[in-house]
Amino acid sequence: MINYPIKRKKQEKTNNRANLGMTLEGDIESTNQYYLNANIAVIHKKPTPIQVVNVSYPARNKAKIVEAYYKTPSTTDFNGLYKGRYIDFDAKETNSKTSMPLKNIHSHQIEHLRHVDKHGGIAFLIVHFKQFDEYFILPSHVLFKYWDLQYDEKKGRKSIPYSAFKNEAYPIQFSYSPRLDYLKVIDTYYFAKK
């Protein structure tokens, strides 16, 4: 019984996404643009870090990069400002139905989120389980717990189980505008507590 409306909703979502051809990153960027236009928050995606090796100047004042390589990011992809608070997160997708592999996350991203957490920022991941078309905010303390657990000889596992998302993360509803209203979730779980 309780699954039925969720299934219908999932159908609609799939249609939306097919029409718009969006990725998780695109959905978040479109949501951030909505937040900016509506004067709700100032959150941006950082550019992808690229190591430029060679530049040519085929025309005056127009530099053409002819050799460059992608670098590993040293922080997360998204950060910004909401209600006077510093917000910092990364977005991860998984095709798995049972867990999110920890190899999707770089150790320096974990380090960065730990710093943010320690200095009073709001740190989390947005995780998309593609097979269920479900989105979650995974708070940093839950992320750190599973990250550290992987080095535990007995309990160690290289992923965060789907059940942890159901029990310890917060769902984000996908909708038309904004697509992924993650700040609504932040309101409920971070600001309401205070």
Binding segment (CB under 8 A) for a second copy, from list 6-14, 65-73, 138-146, 177-185 = 65-73
Closer of 39 and 167 to a second copy (Cβ): 39
Q: Are 122 and 81 in contact (CB under 8 A)?
A: no
Which residues ranging from 84 to 113 are in contact with a second copy (CB under 8 A)? 84-86, 88, 112
Interface with a second copy, residue 41, by CB under 8 A: yes
* Binding residue (CB under 8 A) for a second copy from 8, 15, 38, 64: 64
Q: Are 89 and 76 in contact (CB under 8 A)?
A: yes
**CA pair distance 115, 16, nearest whole angstrom:** 37
Least Cα distance to 109 among 127, 133, 91, 132 occurs for 91
Helices 140-149, 107-118: inter-axial angle, 10-degree rounding: 140
Q: What are the residues binding a second copy (CB under 8 A)?
A: 36, 39, 41-42, 44, 46-50, 52, 62-71, 73-75, 79-86, 88, 112, 115-116, 118-121
